């Protein structure tokens, strides 16, 4: 379910951690291009934003809490001059003790030279690496795995005397999911974990003016860059005055891109591994109609990511599609809490049904996922209050029964509704007339990417990168340990 209807509540779907963007150009305003790229990627994180610029002598970083347009204005951008830039927008978990210090890009000093790192993903068990760096005199300002990676690159570069070798040594020392971009004073680097769990792509500016890297192709589109290819798993790209070069920091493993990118995280106008995200979602809806048909009068999608799947469901089932739920697009992340009386009234802060469309109708309502079920319950209640005679909930992702440790903020397993309830128990809690999820096989069939293998750990419990025992003990249900 999109996010909580009430500001400040725990979201009712998995939340992406962040997005990265980078530009190298001798002619363009790289900070401005990066700002636009981050705006295109804003859906991946709304709590902080930052840009680092390299000018040949040093690296300058500006970052703060808030949306991209809140952090950057004409005055700030005009002060960020250089030939290369990296940017980041972040979604952080609510228990972050120091959100400003955790905002990115992170800075590391290599002798008299600075580098800045932006990271999308999550590293698995960095405790030993951090302890080693602390023993070497490295000081940390945050508790993020991203800063650990940044400081590790600085440490290993001082040892090897080559930044690319420092990146390679860091890739050998870390495990997990990462798509990273790094700015030095002279060059832009981009690199990706050996399984390619998190997305990262390369584009070229018109007339050979420079190169762009982005978490999604929509970031290339907004700055007019032509998509060239995806960054390969385990690859290190270096872009500088002498052009673009490629090497491998680690041998590529089996490709395991996160399948949830197609379900929800990515923008519908992006393409990942050769597959349109929008067309994947339409296919998920068609597959849902084949797997779990029901007699109904209308099909509706929960804005925004549920709409393409609802269109596919209507197309396959022959049940008409209708816009019956209005989304308030100007309600962002906020610390303003509604009163308990407002909650009890079912205040329509983010979603509001249309009684003129819904009244007297049997509805199929398509959404992308359910984590806790609270927002689904609230939405079904609002649809019934608007006059729906039946509400059949269809979900274009399988049941989320396992937490993610690769860059998505999902809770521990005991907080996942599908891990603790049967389908009938979930249906009763939500209050819908029927509840059905797409099968894992159906989801795979809907995503026709160049790579036919995915990370599906949140659905299957089969983790791409082995987890340390302490994570299993603290995040899994006792019966699953």
Q: Is 455 one of the annotated binding-site residues?
A: yes
Contact 298, 357 (CB under 8 A): yes
Q: Is 367 one of the annotated binding-site residues?
A: yes
> 401: helix, coil or strand?
coil
Rounded CA-CA distance 212/25 in Å is: 9
Output the CA torsion 336→342→347→350 (10° steps): 10
The distance of Cα 57 from the centroid of its chain, to the nearest Å, equals 33
Contact 62, 33 (CB under 8 A): no
Rounded CA-CA distance 310/307 in Å is: 5
Angle between the N-to-C axes of helices 277-291 and 306-317, in degrees from 0 to 180, rounded to the nearest 10: 50
CB neighbours of residue 449 within 10 Å: 20
CB neighbours of residue 258 within 10 Å: 29
Rounded CA-CA distance 324/356 in Å is: 8
Q: Is 404 one of the annotated binding-site residues?
A: yes
150 part of the active site: no
Rounded CA-CA distance 117/200 in Å is: 15
Tell me the sheet residues that pair with 276: 271
Query: Could you say which of 18, 89, 150, 218 is catalytic?
Result: 18
Of 435, 314, 418, 317, nearest to 380 by C-alpha is 435
- DSSP secondary structure of 79-148: T--SSEEEEEEE---TT-S-HHHH-SSEEEEETTEEEEEEEEEEES--HHHHHHHHHTT---SS--HHHH
Q: Count H helices, E strands: the chain?
A: 19, 25
Q: Is 64 one of the annotated binding-site residues?
A: no
Contact 149, 177 (CB under 8 A): no
Q: Is 368 one of the annotated binding-site residues?
A: yes
Q: Is 323 one of the annotated binding-site residues?
A: no
- Could you tell me which residues come within 8 angstroms of residue 428 by beta carbon, excluding any fewer than 6 positions away? none
Q: Is 89 one of the annotated binding-site residues?
A: no
Contact 393, 380 (CB under 8 A): yes
Contact 244, 219 (CB under 8 A): no
Of 188, 193, 200, nearest to 244 by C-alpha is 188
Residue ranges for the known binding site are 258, 305, 367-368, 404, 455, 458
Residue ranges for the known binding site for Mg(2+) are 305, 367-368
Active site residues: 18
Residue ranges for the known binding site for [4Fe-4S] cluster are 258, 404, 455, 458
């Amino acid at each position: 379910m999109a996010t909580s209807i009430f500001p400040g509540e725990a979201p009712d779907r998995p939340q992406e951690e962040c997005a990265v963007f980078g530009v190298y150009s001798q002619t363009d305003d790289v900070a401005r291009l990066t700002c636009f790229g981050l705006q295109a990627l804003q859906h991946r994180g709304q709590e902080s934003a930052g840009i680092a610029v390299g000018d040949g002598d040093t690296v300058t970083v500006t970052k703060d809490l808030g949306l991209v347009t809140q952090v950057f204005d004409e005055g700030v951008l005009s002060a960020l001059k250089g030939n290369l830039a990296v940017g980041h927008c972040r979604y952080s978990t609510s228990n972050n003790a120091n959100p400003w210090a955790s905002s990115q890009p992170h800075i590391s000093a290599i002798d008299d030279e600075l580098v800045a790192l932006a990271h999308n993903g999550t590293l698995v068990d960095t405790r030993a690496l951090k302890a080693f760096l602390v023993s070497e005199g490295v000081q940390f300002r945050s508790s993020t795995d991203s800063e650990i990676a940044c400081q590790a690159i600085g440490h290993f570069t001082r040892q090897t005397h080559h930044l690319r070798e420092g990146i390679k040594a860091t890739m050998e020392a870390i495990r997990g999911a990462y798509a990273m971009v790094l700015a030095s004073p002279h060059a832009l680097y981009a690199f990706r974990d050996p399984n390619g769990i998190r997305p990262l792509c390369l584009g070229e500016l018109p007339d050979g003016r420079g190169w762009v890297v982005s978490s999604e192709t929509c970031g290339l589109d907004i700055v007019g860059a032509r998509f060239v290819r995806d960054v390969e798993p385990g690859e290190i790209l270096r872009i500088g005055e002498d052009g673009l070069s490629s090497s491998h920091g680690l041998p590529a493993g089996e490709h395991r891109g996160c399948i949830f990118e197609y379900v929800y995280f990515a923008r519908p106008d992006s393409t990942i591994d050769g597959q349109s995200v929008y067309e994947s979602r339409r296919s998920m809806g068609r597959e849902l109609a084949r797997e779990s048909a029901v007699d109904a009068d209308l099909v509706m999608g929960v804005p925004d990511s549920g709409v393409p799947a609802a269109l596919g469901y209507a197309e396959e089932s022959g049940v008409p599609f209708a816009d019956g739920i209005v989304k308030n697009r100007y309600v962002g992340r906020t610390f303003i809490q509604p009163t308990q009386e407002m909650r009890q009234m079912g205040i329509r802060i983010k979603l509001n049904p249309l009684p003129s469309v819904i009244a007297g109708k049997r509805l199929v309502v398509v959404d992308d996922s359910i984590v806790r079920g609270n927002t689904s319950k609230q939405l079904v209640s609002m649809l019934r209050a608007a006059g729906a005679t039946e509400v059949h909930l269809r979900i274009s992702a399988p049941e989320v029964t396992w937490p993610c440790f690769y860059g998505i903020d999902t809770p521990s397993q005991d907080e996942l509704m599908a891990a603790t309830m049967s389908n009938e128990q979930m249906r009763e809690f939500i209050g819908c007339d029927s509840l059905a999820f797409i099968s894992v096989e159906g989801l795979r069939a809907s995503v026709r990417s160049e790579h036919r293998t995915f990370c599906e750990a949140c659905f299957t419990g089969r983790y791409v990168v082995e987890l340390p025992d302490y994570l299993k003990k603290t995040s899994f249900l006792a019966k699953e340990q």
